Amino acid sequence: MLRIALLAILNLSVASTSFSQSKPVIRMGATNTQSFDDNWAFTRYGLQADGSRIEEPQNLESTTLNESSWQKLNLPHDFGITGPFGIELEGGTGKLPWKGIGWYRKHFKIPAADAGKRIFVDFDGAMANAKIWLNGHYVGTWPYGYNSFRMDLTPYLLMGKENVLAVRLDTENWDSRWYPGAGIYRHVWLVKTNPVHVGHWGTSITTPEITDASAKVKMDITVENQSKLPVEATVQTAIFELDQQNKPETKITSFNTSTIKIDAGAAATTNTQATIQHPKRWDIVAPNRYIAQTTLSINGKVVDTYQTPFGIRTLKFTARDGFQLNGRRVEIQGTCNHHDLGALGAAINTSALRRQLSILKDMGCNALRTSHNPPSPELLELADQMGFLVWDEAFDCWKSGKRKLDYNKIYEEWHQKDLEAMVHRDRNHPSVFIWSIGNEVMEQRNVEMTKHLADIIRKVDPTRPVSNGYNDPDGGRESGAVEALDIMGVNYFFSQQAKWDADPRYKSKPTLGSETSSCVSSRGEYFFDNQYKNWQISSYDDAFPGWGCSPDEQFRTNAKYPHLLGEFVWTGFDYLGEPTPYNSDATNLQNFRNDPAKRKELELKLEELRKKNPPSRSSYFGIVDLAGFPKDRYYLYQSQWRPDCPMAHILPHWNWAERIGQVTPVHVYTSGDEAELFLNGKSLGRKTKTPGKDFRLVWDDVKYTPGELKVVCYKKGKTWATDIVKTTGKASKITLSANQPVIKAGGDDLSYITVKITDKNGLMVPRTHNSIKFSVQGPGEIVATDNGDATSFIPFQSHERPAYNGMALVIVKGKKGQKGKFSVKAESPGLGSAVISLESK
């Protein structure tokens, strides 16, 4: 019975994995939390976008400062993404001018009626070295730009009068191996509470016993007393199921009521528990959730309310039998991703992130690694909503930096605070299944440090395993450092897996591919004599750096060692920066710390690259390009990760006028097990996959003739899926399609419009690069444009962009405060124009 029900759920998930409809985002925290994103003034000192310097004046936090010349803006804001790109800037960080000193100021009033309350500002993340002042008084600092933090404004706040909050950010004193962004690039919140209130991230919900009949739910609630007297508070928490709209539906049950005594200026924690009958599990195929609503009362009067969304699921990690979610074996089909949103830079936008995740979900991706830092809260909320598992990662380095001004500079003082902040914030998310203390850190053999960091996490959350991503797995194992971890994360180097499996010392450690493949390609490029040309990379999906491997090779490894937990591919999406193999950053030399010959070879390559200074500014690793268009590899992963979804994909395109009669290999990705290829109706033979060995079907000797390539795929002898690629006519028009034709008015819901250059029959014409101009009529506006070309220096804000291999992207939104229909026009000389109608509602 249960088996049938579960299968029904699983099938359903294959049939409908589109998440364009947007559920509201819910946050853990005090109910009285308001957005504090609007009406900030911004200016930049130190390094400027054009490379010049403007000396930073003193006292920019002063209440008397006149900031009328500053730029007015709403957050989130990334001051690096407006560029311009500069050839002299580092490719590793996107050739963007993100280094500078950013100042933000905001004037605001808190009604006199709020006198006596505590007033906090919560920053979800500010890059980097944030310092905060209120009314000229220094309030505090949080250097690590990826973490969320709270500032208590109460001591310096003027009730009923004007206040000025000033924030200084300094990215000059920050280094990165990828584009980090710059500025207050995540949301900011104003929180008002009673002096006696649930602490910041003050709730922890765990589910120690779960059966189909019931779940025991435990909750710890920390209450802070910022008043001048001791108090006795009553804590009550009701549990609701969250409905399809993320609203508390019916009340399920309540936690035991508890009474707690808290001294003045102190905090105390109460533990309570409840039982949920017939719990609805959170799962990647049915992401059910609950919400705990906590009420704090003193002498019968409610003083504070707080909400904690959570989920009920079991996680089991085994060394011999992989990973189990809710008792079911689940292969981790994950992708690593950096935090930028392509053309939007690092500024968080929920609708952009939701699009990224739904593209990954449709591919069959079921897990995300937040490489190599804590993510935005929205990423975890969307992972909870959409059913992704999350490897939540703290650091890319510890005490010893990969770059000069890395986290190493602040490690000593901040590592504990940063780790605790990450775990306190994220521990109630059902999606978070593994904590990671690092990625390829220099000290990965250091037993003491590994244990120290893992223990900091375990103290806050003893329920989830702790891991670390090793590019020196042998060193990690031999040194014993891995013994301090619950899971061994291996980046790339699986050649020794058989040796580790045979070694009794390592037999009990569950092992995961924390980073795999690193295949590189450029969408729509196919080269026949060389994989690399014009700073682009051929899309036959067989190019990768020396430490990486093809996706197929990794699938072979996974099939050979089925007891491994699965993999996180480097990467799901292309990202800004790190344009390997055209990246001259030396950090990847560390991947060859145990192989001097390969290290030398790479060193020489890097030296050459430095001389040539390639124009590449974003990565080629993505399975999906920077604009969100799937590359061929997308279908290779889909064929493996969604075996029940009938699909077939042919590459390359079939427009090779200059190759008539020349051998032009054809590859097919399919979830079937056999396929027959036809060129202009003539069979080129039937090929079969050998299980565990072949993951694509290859016709290596096809001679190019224009016309139609068709593949018919079979599964277990039955017709399963087909794909057709045709030689197109000449480029003659533009077609437009929107991922969301109707968007929410208010300013941050986005519609992504895919632009294709087609022939008169509507077939996309590959290898076209016509320039397209965009304009909007009505209450909408263009946010950014892109085309996925990793070498383009056209600013993302430009309203004109060439197609890259037949495609371009324009991102639009509704104008703030306005509703109604608007239209987007795309025009190009010789192709006429196309118009698409959208609505902001």
Interaction between residue 491 and ligand GAL (CB under 6 A): yes
Nearest-approach distance from CB 441 to ligand GAL, in angstroms: 10
Q: How many residues bind ligand GAL (CB under 6 A)?
A: 14
Interaction between residue 393 and ligand GAL (CB under 6 A): no
Nearest-approach distance from CB 323 to ligand GAL, in angstroms: 21
Nearest-approach distance from CB 580 to ligand GAL, in angstroms: 6
Does residue 523 contact residue 282 with C-beta atoms inside 8 Å?
Answer: no
CA 352 – CA 752 distance, rounded (Å): 8
Q: Which of 471, 521, 670, 739 binds ligand GAL (CB under 6 A)?
A: 471
Interaction between residue 179 and ligand GAL (CB under 6 A): no
CA 225 – CA 263 distance, rounded (Å): 7
Active site residue 443: no
Q: Which of 37, 224, 392, 440 binds ligand GAL (CB under 6 A)?
A: 440
Can you tell me whether residue 520 is helix, strand or coil? coil
Ranges of H-type helices in 716-783: none
- Structure-block tokens of residue 580: 């390997």
Name the residue nearer to ligand GAL (CB basis): 130 or 394.
394
Residues 764-803, interacting with ligand GAL (CB under 6 A): none
Q: Which of 378, 515, 578, 839 is catalytic?
A: 515
Nearest-approach distance from CB 309 to ligand GAL, in angstroms: 31
Name the residue nearer to ligand GAL (CB basis): 351 or 580.
580
Interaction between residue 522 and ligand GAL (CB under 6 A): no
In degrees rounded to 5, what are phi and psi of residue 304? -155, 145
Fill in the per-residue mask, 360 to 379: x = in contact with ligand GAL (CB under 6 A), - = not in contact: -----------x--------
Name the residue nearer to ligand GAL (CB basis): 222 or 471.
471
Tally Cβ neighbours within 10 Å of residue 53: 12
Residues 532-561, interacting with ligand GAL (CB under 6 A): 545, 548
Interaction between residue 175 and ligand GAL (CB under 6 A): no
CA 38 – CA 32 distance, rounded (Å): 17
User: Using CA of residue 109, residue 110, residue 115, residue 119, what is the dihedral sign?
Assistant: negative
Active site residue 674: no
Name the residue nearer to ligand GAL (CB basis): 441 or 809.
441
Cα 656 from chain centroid? Answer: 37
Among all residues, whose Cβ is closest to ligand GAL?
518
Interaction between residue 521 and ligand GAL (CB under 6 A): no
Nearest-approach distance from CB 178 to ligand GAL, in angstroms: 7
CA 756 – CA 772 distance, rounded (Å): 10
C-alpha atoms less than 13 angstroms from C-alpha of 401 in its C-beta half-sphere = 14
Interaction between residue 406 and ligand GAL (CB under 6 A): no
Does residue 507 contact residue 472 with C-beta atoms inside 8 Å?
Answer: no
Nearest-approach distance from CB 514 to ligand GAL, in angstroms: 9
Q: Which of 67, 393, 426, 515 binds ligand GAL (CB under 6 A)?
A: 515
Nearest-approach distance from CB 552 to ligand GAL, in angstroms: 17
The one-letter code for the residue type at 773 is: K
Interaction between residue 270 and ligand GAL (CB under 6 A): no
Q: Which of 67, 224, 440, 578 is catalytic?
A: 440
CA 840 – CA 746 distance, rounded (Å): 8
In DSSP terms, 44 is beta-bridged to: 102
Cα 589 from chain centroid? Answer: 25
Interaction between residue 29 and ligand GAL (CB under 6 A): no
Q: Where are the beta strands (DSSP E) in 382-479?
A: 389-393, 432-439, 466-470
Interaction between residue 591 and ligand GAL (CB under 6 A): yes
Name the residue nearer to ligand GAL (CB basis): 350 or 591.
591
Interaction between residue 450 and ligand GAL (CB under 6 A): no
Name the residue nearer to ligand GAL (CB basis): 217 or 520.
520
Residue among 630, 629, 705, 638 nearest 668 (CA): 638
CA 358 – CA 323 distance, rounded (Å): 23
Cα 44 from chain centroid? Answer: 28
Does residue 569 contact residue 577 with C-beta atoms inside 8 Å?
Answer: no
Burial of 124 (0-12, 13-18, 19+ CB in 10 A): buried
Nearest-approach distance from CB 582 to ligand GAL, in angstroms: 13
Residue among 610, 604, 601 nearest 583 (CA): 610
- Structure-block tokens of residue 504: 């009794």
Name the residue nearer to ligand GAL (CB basis): 591 or 758.
591
Nearest-approach distance from CB 440 to ligand GAL, in angstroms: 5
Q: What does each C-alpha distance from 112 to 115, 160, 382 come to in angstroms?
A: 5, 4, 37
Residues with catalytic annotation? 440, 515
Please report, as ranges, the residues that interact with ligand GAL according to CB under 6 A.
371, 439-440, 471, 491, 515, 518, 545, 548, 570, 578, 580, 588, 591
